[in-house]
């Protein structure tokens, strides 16, 4: 992908990973991703971040297109996760930087990843700044967005915030700026990334946004390490992040289930019918044919999560168990829930589902179990459960709107 001058003497030198689907070993990047890295020309020419080792040729090719790498003075490592530091060893060997700016945890992580105690680390913290010559770089620690080492950089003269993983989204594109694509599509990718990567750290997000506000930085461009660069929707992307982190729910329910002989599936669809009759937006996921990342993207703004599984070996079916474990780790807040499923002779799935949902601090407002195959009456009960959940969703929504 071509190098791009995004501000005066600030160049995008990242790489587009069109073929990536497995993001970090647990999340699905359905549309690939980008690794954004930036080169700033000044008296001290500085490279901000590298890219995944998958794309080292493209990355170094981009740099060489505009500068002899040995003329770079500083490196800034905003995050050590290998999607951004995958070319770091090669970069250090090539550039021989005077200094490598990073947080305390950044230094620790670089040493434990790459085992070079002798690199010229320069540890910085929130509020520290350096002059590159004409440009000034202010640092802000972005702890847990998404690892403890993350930091962001504000280049004052350019009103540019390099935000690392914050505001990142997985989307491989030929375009580099937010106004070259549909912002609604960016928002969907942003929500997906947040739901699968950042959600457990929602409190840290709100703290970081508060800190940025307090610092009164005049920002007219936000450049995350993944996805599009924001120059026309700066306020919108900050507002979207705030909304995700506050975990504001909509009048929406997500039904997640697996089934053996379709009894639990019939129950899922009857429950959906009850919700739909009450004008609740519903998403239904059969876990055998869905990816947990797609499910979490819908859970993010749903008020209710309804989990279904038949009893299997005194527990739940494996895809449902995996989904529950994945969701539990991401710690969604403020949800209501319900459990449903069929059974043959042991009745454990509802107990298992309810206990797990409650452990996630979800308010379980109902459950239903059916022996073997549901009758018409059983399915009416399922519709009634859907309606009951819908009523609770509406009550919660009323409370949200009065806040
Ligand atoms: Fe984009 Fe936490 O790495």
Which of 5, 8, 24, 134 is labelled catalytic? 24
Residues of the chain with pLDDT under 70: 1, 403
84 C-alpha to ligand 1 centroid (Å):
7
Separation CA 353–CA 357 (nearest Å):
6
Residue 79 annotated in active site: yes
Task: Give me the pLDDT at residue 402, please.
Answer: 73
User: Long-range contacts: 209-217, Cβ < 8 Å, 24+?
Assistant: 209/238, 209/241, 209/242, 209/245, 211/126, 211/140, 212/140, 212/161, 215/138, 215/140, 215/154, 217/138, 217/154, 217/156, 217/159, 217/161
Task: Give me the pLDDT at residue 398, please.
Answer: 86
> Which residue owns the Cα nearest ligand 1 atom 1?
165
Using DSSP bridges, classify how beta strands 336-343 and 363-371 pair: parallel, antiparallel or unpaired.
Answer: parallel
Task: Give me the pLDDT at residue 1, please.
Answer: 66
**Ligand 1 pocket, residue 169 CB under 6 Å:** no
Which of 169, 226, 292, 312 is labelled catalytic? 226
Measured from the Cα of 164, ligand 1's closest atom is: 1
Residue 83 annotated in active site: yes
Task: Give me the pLDDT at residue 13, please.
Answer: 98
Task: Give me the pLDDT at residue 68, please.
Answer: 98
Residue 226 annotated in active site: yes
Residue 286 annotated in active site: no
Task: Give me the pLDDT at residue 76, please.
Answer: 98
Residue 24 annotated in active site: yes
Which of 42, 149, 165, 265 is labelled catalytic? 165
235 C-alpha to ligand 1 centroid (Å):
23
**Ligand 1 pocket, residue 17 CB under 6 Å:** no
Please tell me the pTM assigned to this model: 0.96
**For 196, how many CA atoms within 13 A lie in the half-sphere containing its CB?**
27
124 C-alpha to ligand 1 centroid (Å):
20
């Amino acid at each position: 992908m071509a190098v791009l001058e995004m501000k005066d003497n600030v160049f995008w030198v990242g790489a587009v990973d069109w073929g990536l689907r497995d993001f970090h070993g647990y999340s699905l990047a359905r549309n690939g991703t980008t690794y954004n890295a930036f080169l700033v020309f000044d008296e001290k020419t500085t490279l901000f971040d590298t890219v995944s080792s998958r794309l080292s040729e493209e990355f170094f090719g981009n740099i060489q297109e505009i500068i002899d790498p040995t003329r770079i003075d500083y490196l800034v490592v905003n995050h050590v996760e290998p999607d951004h530091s995958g070319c770091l060893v090669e970069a250090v060997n090539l550039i021989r930087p005077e200094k490598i700016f990073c947080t305390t945890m950044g230094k620790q992580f670089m040493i434990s990843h790459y085992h070079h105690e002798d690199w010229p680390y320069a540890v910085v913290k929130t509020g520290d700044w350096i002059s590159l010559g004409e440009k000034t770089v202010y640092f802000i620690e972005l702890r847990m967005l998404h690892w403890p080492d993350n930091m962001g950089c504000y280049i004052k003269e350019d009103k540019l915030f390099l935000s690392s993983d914050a505001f990142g989204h997985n989307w491989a594109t030929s375009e580099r700026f937010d106004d070259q694509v549909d912002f609604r599509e960016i928002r969907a990718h942003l929500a997906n990334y947040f739901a699968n990567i950042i959600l457990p750290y929602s409190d840290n997000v709100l703290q970081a946004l508060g800190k940025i506000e307090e610092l009164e930085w005049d920002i007219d461009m936000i450049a995350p390490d993944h996805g599009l660069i924001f120059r026309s929707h700066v306020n919108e992307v900050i507002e979207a992040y705030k909304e995700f982190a506050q975990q504001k729910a909509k009048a929406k329910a997500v039904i997640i289930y697996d089934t053996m002989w379709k009894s639990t599936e019939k129950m899922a669809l009857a429950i959906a019918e009850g919700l739909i009759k009450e004008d609740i937006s519903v998403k239904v996921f059969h876990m055998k044919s869905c990816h947990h990342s797609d499910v979490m993207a819908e859970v993010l703004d749903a008020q209710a999560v309804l989990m279904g599984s038949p009893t299997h070996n005194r527990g739940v079916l494996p895809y449902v168990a995996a989904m529950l474990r994945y969701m539990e780790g991401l710690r969604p807040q403020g949800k209501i829930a319900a459990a449903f499923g069929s059974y043959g002779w042991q009745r454990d799935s509802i107990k298992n589902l309810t206990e797990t949902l409650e452990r996630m601090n979800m308010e379980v407002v109902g459950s239903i179990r059916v022996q073997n195959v549901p009758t018409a009456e059983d399915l009416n009960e399922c519709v009634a459960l859907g309606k009951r959940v819908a009523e609770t969703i509406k009550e919660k929504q009323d409370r949200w709107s009065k806040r």
